Amino acid sequence: MPTEPTFARATKEAERQGFSGARTFQWDGGSAWWFPDLYGSPGSGAAVDEPEGFAAYVGTVHWKGLTKGALLRTLLARYKTPAEMPLDEFSGSFAMLYSAGDGVWLFNDAVGLLKIYQTDDERLFSTSFMVCRSALATRKVNRLRAQEYVLFGANHGLETPIRGIRIADPARATALSPSVPHTSWPVTRWRSVANLPRNRGEALELLSTAIRDDFRSMVDAYGADIGMALSGGFDSRLMLAALDGLGVEPKLYVYGAPGDIDVQIASVIAKNLGTAIECIDKGVINAGQPQFGAELLTSNLSFFDGIPVDGVFDAGADRQTRLLQVQGGRLNLNGGGGEVFRNFFYLPDRRYSASALASVFYSNWLPDAIPDADDRIRLSHAMEDGMLECLGRESGSDAARNSPLARAEVELVYSLFRLRYWMGRNNSVSARYGAFLTPLPHPKLVALTAALPMKWKNFGALEAEMIKRLSPRVASGPSAYGFEFANGPSFVHRLKAIETLARPVVLRKHSAVLRRLIRRNGSAKPPRLPAEIASILPDQDWIATAGLTHRDQFDRLHTLQAVLSEN
């Protein structure tokens, strides 16, 4: 349990962010405070106190058509511990407090798509990074994780950019009561897929049925008041097809200016379906906002909980649209994670080491950004070791980092490393304001799709067929890839994909340097900060700004400086 000064600072920070109306749960050795969503949205989270015990969660989850209080009461009546629960059947991203017997536990959804932060002494846990930050007497940077956040947009492991704050292990149910052991789920659960499909047709039927059943459970739990962004890509069309197959007409919107390709395609699809769609141009929204200043910076640090993937220098559009998406309790769907049905890394079907994967996907930055060679090596090793750890493999040595992984393990890196730590940060922010769901990386689908032959997933062919099977009329019409999903990938699309598949790992590793050499992408120009903001940002020596190539990297750097400086 937090000490009195720690508790006082933590509750003060929660109140500063706007949280109120907490429900309190107490047990021998600890206490918990569960807050309803900010701004009063009724869509996300729940808390109950029953004769069998108590339970509360933050985020969005459904199981067998149940959610919120009905779900928690069912769990309390059936299961004494988290270890007994069929977590791989639960859909959603959530953090749950649970006590139905002799213990109290805190745990995540199976994939780990909602963050639980903790202080190093494990006396304070919170789904808010800033609440944990407020509990620290002093704030010091974790140099390695600061570099990682600035360059990649998230921390891929259990450390954060602030020393003294960690991410709770998503593969563990933390025991909060004395003399009760933690519960750890073996990584082997992701590699133990029973009854794998024998051919592509069986895979298509199995996946389509799983999506249909999960969406039916979702509609049973939340009703038909569902919203989603439609684009020209695979994943939003897959969600729309699943809803259309169930006779559900979601509230559709599309992001972009009127001439953007996503807007044009989404408008055609909506017209074909005879449904309305709203075009949201964030540029127009931002143009109408007041000048960004210190007051908005402070407000955004609270709204986005400190370190979002894009930083906190949002003029207003991101903040405004997040709230609109979930107003009135509407469930908002996002297609993040749909790459489980495709070849996310665009790699040929063979074994790859963690070192090779890091070279392919986490080397798109200039060495100039981290002038110290030892720092660069430490960052590369941290990414490689993080991949191995999420797979339950030995890490920390060059031999382990260069050891080939089975192709199914390579595919799991996408879900258990990339999605868990990058997409999970966005899910955590969205959960603060209402019902937000990324339904495609369902735990059972994560395990199943990782085990499928890559030749089925290449070019998006499998996902295109799933869309067609779930709703032929949604599969018809244009896509951003130059072909109708109803017809499958075109020759031109396949040829473009093969160009990337055939590119050697060594070339992809040095892509940022090569782009600079041919002047396609050099250093980015740092944004001009208002004097009132620039004056409060502390000096830093962990990133050389001359090596930054994107505006987002500058925004994250300045965001982290603000987190370190704010009182």
Using pLDDT thresholds of 50, 70 and 90, give the confidence band for residue 503: confident
pLDDT of residue 525: 83
- The string of pLDDT tens digits covering residues 113-160 is 999 999 999 999 999 999 999 999 889 999 999 999 999 999 999 999
Q: pTM of the prediction?
A: 0.95
DSSP track, 137-184? SS--B-HHHHHHHHHHSS--SSB-SBTTEEE--TTEEEE-STT---EE
Residue 511 has pLDDT above 80, yes or no: no
pLDDT at 519: 61
- Higher pLDDT: 499 or 483? It is 483
Same domain, yes or no: 149 and 249: no
Using the predicted structure, report yes or no on whether residue 524 has a pLDDT greater than 80: no
Q: What is the pLDDT of residue 180?
A: 83
**Total tally of structural domains belonging to the chain:** 2
Taking all residues of the chain, what is their mean pLDDT, rounded to a whole number? 94
Residues 67, 112 within the same domain = yes
Radius of gyration of the chain (CA): 23
Distance CA 405, CA 413 (A): 10
CATH number at residue 217: 3.40.50.620
Query: Which residue is associated with the tokens 């709703």?
Result: 471
Q: Which of 8-17, 415-424, 555-564 shows the lowest mean pLDDT across its residues?
A: 8-17
Q: Quick one: 279 and 314 in the same domain?
A: yes
Q: Is the pLDDT of residue 517 over 70?
A: no
User: Of 176, 151, 183, 146, nearest to 161 (Cα)?
Assistant: 146
Could you tell me if residue 514 is inside a domain? no
Asked if residue 205 and residue 185 are part of one domain, the reply reads no
Out of 158, 190, 222, pick the residue that ends a domain: 190
What pLDDT band is residue 543 in, cutting at 50, 70 and 90?
very high
| Confidence band of 512 (pLDDT split at 50, 70, 90) | low
In 3D space, the residue among 184, 193, 192, 126 whose CA is nearest the CA of residue 160 turns out to be 126
Looking at the structure, tell me whether residues 14 and 62 fall in a common domain.
yes
Tens-place pLDDT, residues 318-366: 999 999 999 999 999 999 999 999 999 999 999 999 999 999 999 889 9
Residue 548 has pLDDT above 60, yes or no: yes
pLDDT of 73: 98
Domain edge (last residue) among 502, 533, 556 = 502
Q: How would residue 566 be classed by pLDDT, with cut points 50, 70 and 90?
A: low
Helices (H) and strands (E) in the chain, counts: 24, 18
For 259-292, the pLDDT digits (tens) are: 999 999 999 999 999 999 999 999 999 998 999 9
Pair 291, 162 in one domain: no
DSSP state of 514: H
Residue 216 covered by a domain: yes
Per residue in 66-93, pLDDT (tens digit) is 999 999 999 999 999 999 999 999 999 9
Q: Is the pLDDT of residue 470 over 60?
A: yes
Q: For residue 357, is it within any domain? A: no
Q: Are 230 and 294 members of one domain?
A: yes
Domain coverage including residue 488:
201-344+409-502
Q: What is the CB-side half-sphere exposure of residue 196 using CA atoms within 13 A? A: 13
pLDDT of the residue at 521: 58
Q: Is residue 157 part of a domain?
A: yes
Encode pLDDT of 385-400 as tens digits: 999 999 999 999 999 9
β-partners of residue 279 are 254
Question: What percentage of the chain exceeds 70 in pLDDT?
Answer: 97
In a domain, 363, yes or no: no
Beta pairing partners, 490: none
Side chain identity at residue 117, one-letter code: Y
Q: Which two tokens stand for residue 530?
A: 């208002």
Which among 449, 467, 502 is the end of a domain? 502
What was the pLDDT predicted at 294?
A: 94
The pLDDT confidence band at residue 3, using thresholds 50, 70 and 90, is low
Output the pLDDT for position 514: 63
What are the tens digits of pLDDT across the range 184-217?
Answer: 888 888 988 888 999 999 999 999 999 999 999 9
- Sorting pLDDT into bands at 50, 70 and 90, what band is 219? very high
Q: What percent of the chain clears pLDDT 90, i.e. is strictly above it?
A: 85
